[in-house]
Amino acid sequence: MGDLNSVTAEAMVEKTRVDLTRTFSDMIQTVLALKGGWALVLANKAKEEQAGKKNDYSKLNFGPKSQICVTSGPTNADGTKRTLAQLHVDARKIHRIDKLCHFLLLENEQIAGYLVLTMIQCLQYPDAYTCRRCTRIVHRTLETVAWVDRYTELLGYRLFSVAVKAIISEPKWMVGIEWDMINIIRDIYGRLVLGQYFLPGGQGPGLQQNRIASNPVRFEQAKAVDTPLLGGGILQTPSDFPRRVLMEIGMSQGDIVTLENSLLESRSAKDQKEVLRDLLRVAADKTKGQNGLLERAGKEESLLHQNTRKPDVTALPEKLVTYSMVKKKEEKNVGPDHSDGPWHGNLF
């Protein structure tokens, strides 16, 4: 850092590291069609599928509700006009998105290994901007490779342990993105243990796969296993790596069985994330906080303790007392005011 003093040099290094990490996460998002022009292609495709399910193709002629100027004719998901030539271009882009995602995560083990390990490290980097964007990349990774056996230890132990640690340690920098991290835990546990897959981005309910009749230990593979953009696949033979992580943070075998029964009975996204939050709150209460940058969030700002906090607004009293009633009572206690009346005393 040249002639800079040690404090300034350290600040410059940290700022450069943050900017580099944010740029890297944005670049990977663009490559995986989670941001930029390719993301618009997938948004248009989702818009078409939604219109087809509702059998109302008039929706394709309207942009988002927040759009001020309405265009006539076919529109993109962002409200811009869509041409006939763009339909053919989008079809080629979707093919490229599939092939590039397959190349990065399945064709070359060296590229895929370093990429996934880097994403795991970025997920625990103390910067909310980077962490929030890496959660989206992790979902796309799970959709693409969760069904591959050689990824099981990497996803089921290393990635899962990082996500669980991030929640139960409750660092202040993570306030506001806890649900995103819990959704990663849900996505991993569903695909690698319970035989459930989800909509892209870890959204929607857990879509349960049946066990194979001839081999009850294994699950039937999801039909979307080769199409990550439709939800991807699952690990057919359930893994014990996520269970091992839960036992390492103090969960008993009975707690894990209860957790899995709850996740199997209630498959909605909201219910499953609530179940995971309740389980992780118990583990969080057993851990100690840290100081400095990784200082623990207080209970008043912690997501895990949201339901246990006292409400900020107290309950109304049984007898309602209004402001006018209070003023009348004060005037009655003070009595008549004669300050403006004539002076009856002596000056001297």
Main-chain phi, psi angles of 109, to 5 degrees:
-65, -35
Alpha carbons 173 and 184: distance in angstroms, whole number:
18
Q: What is the pLDDT at residue 205?
A: 93
Please check whether residue 347 lies inside any domain of the structure. Answer: no
Whether 46 is covered by a domain: the verdict is: no
232, 226 in Cβ contact below 8 A?
Answer: no
Q: How far is CA 248 from the centre of its chain?
A: 24
Locus of tokens 């300050």: 339
Collapsed DSSP state (helix, strand, coil) of residue 17 = helix
CA 9 – CA 3 distance, rounded (Å): 9
Binning pLDDT at 50, 70 and 90, where does residue 78 land? confident
Strand partners, 207: 197
Mean pLDDT of the chain: 83
Q: Looking at the predicted structure, is the pLDDT value of residue 38 above 90?
A: no
Which pLDDT value is given to residue 181? Answer: 93
pLDDT above 70 for 306: no
Q: Is 215 helix (H, G, I), strand (E, B) or coil?
A: strand
CA angle 155, 33, 232 (to 5 degrees): 45
User: Which of 217-221, 299-303, 320-324 has the largest mean confidence?
Assistant: 217-221
Q: Are 232 and 143 in contact (CB under 8 A)?
A: yes
- What's the CA gap between 70 and 341, in Å, rounded? 71
Distances (CA, A) of 70 to 37, 57, 322: 21, 17, 49
Distance in angstroms (rounded) separating the CA atoms of residues 35 and 32: 8
Question: Does 277 or 51 have the greater pLDDT score?
Answer: 277
H-only helix segments in the chain: 6-31, 37-54, 84-102, 109-123, 128-145, 152-153, 160-169, 178-189, 241-248, 253-265, 269-286, 323-334
In a domain, 279, yes or no: yes
Q: Does residue 69 surpass a pLDDT of 80? A: no
Please, are residues 220 and 210 in contact by the beta-carbon 8 Å criterion? yes
Q: For residues 97 and 31, give the distance between their C-alpha atoms in angstroms, rounded to a whole number.
A: 8
In this prediction, residue 48 carries a pLDDT of 79
> Quick one: which of 38, 86, 87, 51 has its CA closest to 62?
51
| Residue that has been written with the tokens 């296993």 in this structure | 225
How much is the average pLDDT of 316-337? 72
Mean pLDDT within 274-293: 73
Sign of CA dihedral 46, 50, 52, 53: positive
CA distances from 148 to 110, 154, 233 (A): 15, 11, 9
**Residue 285 belongs to domain spanning:** 151-311
The pTM score is 0.79
Q: Cα separation of 13 and 11, whole Å?
A: 5
Q: What is the pLDDT of residue 45?
A: 83
For residue 259, is pLDDT > 90? yes
Query: What whole-number distance in Å separates Cα of residue 276 and Cα of residue 109?
Result: 32
| Total domains in the fold of the chain | 1
Nearest Cα neighbor of 91 from 52, 51, 56, 44 is 44
Q: Which of 6-20, 43-57, 198-212 has the highest mean pLDDT?
A: 198-212
Instruction: Indicate whether 269 belongs to any domain.
Output: yes
Exposure string for 72-81, b = 16+ CB within 10 A, e = fewer = eebbbbebee
Residue 194 inside a domain? The answer is yes
- pLDDT at 211 > cutoff 60: yes
Structure tokens at 208: 């349960």
Phi, psi of 208 (to 5 degrees): -75, 135
60 in a structural domain: no
